Amino acid sequence: MSLFDKLDGIRQARAMLETVGIDPFGVAMEKILSPTEAIIHGRHTILAGTNNYLGLTFSQDALDAAHKALDEQGTGTTGSRMANGSFSTHRCLEQELASFYGVRDCIVFSTGYLANLGMITGLTGANDIVLLDADCHASIYDACRMAGCEVVRFRHNDANDLAKRMRRLGERAKEALIIVEGLYSMLGDKAPLQEYVEVKRQYGGYLMVDEAHSLGIYGERGRGVCEEADCEDDVDFIVGTFSKSLGATGGFCVSNRPELDLVRYAARPYIFTASPPPSVIASTRITLQKLAEGQALRQQLHDNAQRLYSGLADLGLAISPEVSPVVAVNIEGKARALTFWKLLLEHGVYCNLVLPPATPTGVPLLRLSLSAAHSSEQIDQIIDTFRQLQAQLDAIPVDA
């Protein structure tokens, strides 16, 4: 077998997309106009798939801080945190994140993906058990493979199934790591964290919650679903990212456990990856402040989410099970989903096309993510575009 034979399936799928003139994975933003608008294919387009939940990517304060850091500290660190890549501002951000969450300590990673990779491989190995929600992000699955730990999956958002699997583990459950997400990125549904906490109290184990898509969105101070569910004291590790509500790139883990600092010396993705550039750290420190004080932004985001959710539901579309800033529209048939996604883009609406096996339901979906920066007029335009194109969608036969 050739080294490249394993890529044949991808080659064939890409050739099919090229034949019909659709490239959902290669859309280039030719010019960014604002947090909610860009020029794509020469066309003014509403961005409804960026995860820019609070719309802070153009915050003037954050831009000014980033420019100042560029001038004073340069474009990059050129080293890992364990080598020459720990600047004083990295530690300042860690202390500010720990203070924001009211916990002992924080580790900042170069990306959110690496935060999961670093924490899970730093904490677990071949003799450890990880119980994870079946719909967890790819970074969590990849981390478990890298760690070589024993993986036990439980049904999505099903605390009873988690309890059943922990009972089967017996005494081993006491040292198991349970991993869930606060808000799941595909369908926008929240984890029943209080139920998971009760299972943990009964059987033991340690709980890690990935708040990548819920940071800034839920809780009085925007700390996420853990804060909203009033169970932060029962969560051992909270992982998050800078690439959604904080409008940058990077990741972190916060915890009250004194062992967190030791993970720095065990997590290869932390030890061997260049640290985030000073400009990113500077802008993130500013947007973290705005997030903490951002009750008005959160309210605007939730108002926008309700407006879009209600508008698409009124069209009779098969959408997400609950209202959140992530709204998924299920489209039966791959060809129909591809065609409808292309039609939306041609009519000035960009969203994410997600195809099986990446979808939790096995059905293709169009994923929209809202921002506090979206205007009511933009949301109405998105709804109206779906309305205008619905007849064309209904005319496309469902493929096998």
pTM: 0.95
Look up residue 123 and give its amino acid: L
Residue for token digits 């003139």? Answer: 21
Q: How far apart are the first and last CA of the chain?
A: 30
Residue for token digits 């001038």? Answer: 71
**pLDDT reported for residue 334:** 87
Count of helices and strands (H, E) across the chain: 14, 14
Average pLDDT in the 259-277 region? 97
Lowest mean pLDDT among 2-16, 46-60, 97-111, 166-180: 2-16
Q: Which fold has domain 59-292?
A: Aspartate Aminotransferase; domain 2 (3.40.640)
- The domain spans of the chain are 7-54+295-394, 59-292
Nearest to 326 by CA among 53, 140, 112, 24: 53
Q: Do domains 7-54+295-394 and 59-292 have the same CATH topology?
A: no
Q: Name the region of 3 (left: φ>0; alpha: ψ -120 to 50; beta: rest).
A: alpha
Q: How far is CA 138 from CA 113, 292, 315, 358, 365, in A?
A: 9, 28, 32, 9, 18
Rounded Cα–Cα distance for residues 241 and 273 (Å) = 16
What are the pLDDT digits (tens) for 150-194? 999 999 999 999 999 999 999 999 999 999 999 999 999 999 999
For 7-54+295-394, CATH gives: 3.90.1150.10
